[in-house]
């Protein structure tokens, strides 16, 4: 690994380009306000069997997982998803740590545990600022829903729709998408001490990006967490 890094030279810590110029153009036509979903009458998935301390050995704290499960249950009851799959991103952790987990709630298994980037203006190694504003270059918090895939500047990518008004409902218009990026890899951390930063997109390792995107696309939920903004007290999914 070290020899390969020496031959290739150190990764450049320069800020990456916008998430996707094409996405920004298309999003203005596609980014319509989400319609409220009808309340579900079918039973929620058996997430009660998933204990908050089940994945502490993988770095996922009891509190964060507990909040993510609470938000998922509220979203399920409202009919916001029919996928028993939950992606958790813990932005209270530094980017040098793997802080993204994809959990299959039906089998109670972690399908992915990966590095994920945050926005340039959210902070250095650990983000402290979050925004729902276009061109803020900051990450989103709260519950988002995966949508369709497309090919853009960063290759195979996944659009997201924010479910929380005021916190992330402009995610599609901002072209906040899941995509692969060379600055979101362990080798980048090894050379630079942290991941590179996006313009707000949760960028992941290109080596697993297609597989991860194909797993979560089409209506599963992503829960972005940070205790820094007071968002927990205002989220409609955590305070139904």
pLDDT in tens, 29-39: 444 444 445 55
Tell me the pLDDT band of 52, cut-offs 50, 70 and 90: low
Whole-angstrom Cα distance, residue 147 to residue 168?
A: 14
Whole-angstrom Cα distance, residue 219 to residue 83?
A: 7
Q: In the structure encoding, which two tokens stand for residue 78, read together? A: 């409202």
Q: What is the pLDDT of residues 105-151, one digit of tens each?
A: 988 899 999 999 999 999 999 999 999 999 999 999 999 999 999 99
- DSSP annotation of 173: T
Residue 27 is predicted with a pLDDT of: 41
In the chain, pLDDT over 70 holds for what percent of residues?
Answer: 78
**Strands 155-162 vs 142-152: parallel, antiparallel or unpaired:** antiparallel
Residue 14 is predicted with a pLDDT of: 41
Q: In the structure encoding, which two tokens stand for residue 17, read together? A: 């380009």
Residue 21 is predicted with a pLDDT of: 44
Nearest Cα residue to 173 out of 63, 46, 19: 19
Residue 85: φ, ψ to 5°: -140, 140
Q: Work out the mean pLDDT of the chain and round it to a whole number.
A: 85
Is the dihedral angle over the CA atoms 195, 110, 90, 204 positive or is it negative?
Answer: positive
Higher pLDDT among residues 66 and 43, named by residue: 66
C-beta separation of 145 from 125 below 8 A:
no
- DSSP annotation of 35: P
9-12, long-range: CB < 8 A, 24+ apart: 10/191, 10/192, 11/182, 11/183, 11/187, 11/188, 11/191, 11/192, 11/196
Q: In the structure encoding, which two tokens stand for residue 122, read together? A: 């959210």
Per the listing, tokens 């039906």 go with 106
Q: What is the pLDDT of residues 190-205, one digit of tens each?
A: 999 999 999 999 999 9
Q: What is the pTM of this model?
A: 0.83
Q: Which domains does the chain have, with CATH numbers?
A: 41-233 (2.40.440.10)
Where does 72-229 show beta strands of DSSP type E? 85-90, 100-104, 109-114, 142-152, 155-162, 177-180, 203-204, 221-225
């Amino acid at each position: 690994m070290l020899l390969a890094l020496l031959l290739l030279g150190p990764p450049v810590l320069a800020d990456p380009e916008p998430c996707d110029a094409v996405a920004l153009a298309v999003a203005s036509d596609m980014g319509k306000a989400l319609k409220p979903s009808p309340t579900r009458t079918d039973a929620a998935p058996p997430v009660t069997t998933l204990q908050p301390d089940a994945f502490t050995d993988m770095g996922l704290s009891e509190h964060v997982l507990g909040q993510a499960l609470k938000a998922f249950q509220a979203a399920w009851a409202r009919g916001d998803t029919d996928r028993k799959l939950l992606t958790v991103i813990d932005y209270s952790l530094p980017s040098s740590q793997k802080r993204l987990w994809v959990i299959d709630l039906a089998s109670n298994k972690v399908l992915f545990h990966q590095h994920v980037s945050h926005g340039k203006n959210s902070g250095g190694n650990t983000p402290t600022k979050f925004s729902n504003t276009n061109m803020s270059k900051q990450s989103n918090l709260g519950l988002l829903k995966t949508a369709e895939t497309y090919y853009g500047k960063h290759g195979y990518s996944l659009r997201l729709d924010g479910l929380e008004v005021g916190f992330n409902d402009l995610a599609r218009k901002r072209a906040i998408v899941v995509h692969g990026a060379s600055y979101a890899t362990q080798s980048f951390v090894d050379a630079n001490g942290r991941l590179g930063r996006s313009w707000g997109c949760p960028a992941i390792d290109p080596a697993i990006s297609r597989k991860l995107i194909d797993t979560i696309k089409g209506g599963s939920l992503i829960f972005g967490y940070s205790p820094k903004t007071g968002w927990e007290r205002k989220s409609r999914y955590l305070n139904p």
